[in-house]
Amino acid sequence: MNTNVQKVRKDYAKRELKRDDLPNSPVELLEDWLSAAESTDPDDYNAMCLSSVDETGKPSSRIVLLRSITDQGIRFFTNYESKKGRDIAVNENVCVNFFWRDWERQVRITGVASRCTPKVSDDYFASRPRASQIGAWTSHQSKSNVEPKIQERIKDAIESFKDAEVIPRPDFWGGYDLSIETIEFWQGRPSRLHNRWRYRIKNESEGAWNVDLLDP
């Protein structure tokens, strides 16, 4: 075992997050933090860890990409037959977590994931590079013992769509909207005494939120 991991220490001290810094809507603050993160990490600032739970109660986590912020919450896309898709089908409650090292910040969101409308998924799929569209048709995401034949499936998909100007979206691929029930903003502070503010939905129709200060 690499015992050096026990000795790693970092004291977060770049910024703080006070009550006066919090807007009425957490979405506004999320957008501000995403914009700041983009300025230092334009390639991966929208990466978030998505956690789901299967029918037996076992959790799984993986990195997915935030693709938009909507009136309903946040949106991502995936294969509906993947592990995450199967989990969401039996338990729609999920959690996502952003971590931006350069800003010493985290955001954790809990809520309910529901499939986007077919039009939303169609429009996004149409915006993807053609190679990614082929990949969506080709991948049997999360299935075992099928990867050795993936190159054969890629060739078949390319052949199938060689005359197609527009590649249609497969029915098993699309988006999810994650409604925000709680969202916590974590700002690293010295001596592990971090600033933690949690918004909880109070009145969804009015966009009203309760705000709590959490102990570090």
DSSP 183-211: EEEEE--GGG--EEEEEEEEETTTTEEEE
Structural element, H or E, at residue 110:
strand 105-115
Q: At what angle do helices 150-160 and 130-138 cross, to 10 degrees?
A: 120
Which pair of tokens denotes residue 12? 């977060």
User: Catalytic pick from 105, 153, 169, 192?
Assistant: 192
Does residue 192 have an active-site annotation? yes
Distance CA 56, CA 114 (A): 20
4 vs 1, 7, 10, 11, CA distance in Å?
A: 9, 5, 14, 17
Long-range contacts at 190-196 (CB < 8 A, ≥ 24 apart): 190/11, 190/12, 190/13, 191/11, 192/216, 194/12, 195/16, 195/17, 195/18
Catalytic center residues: 192
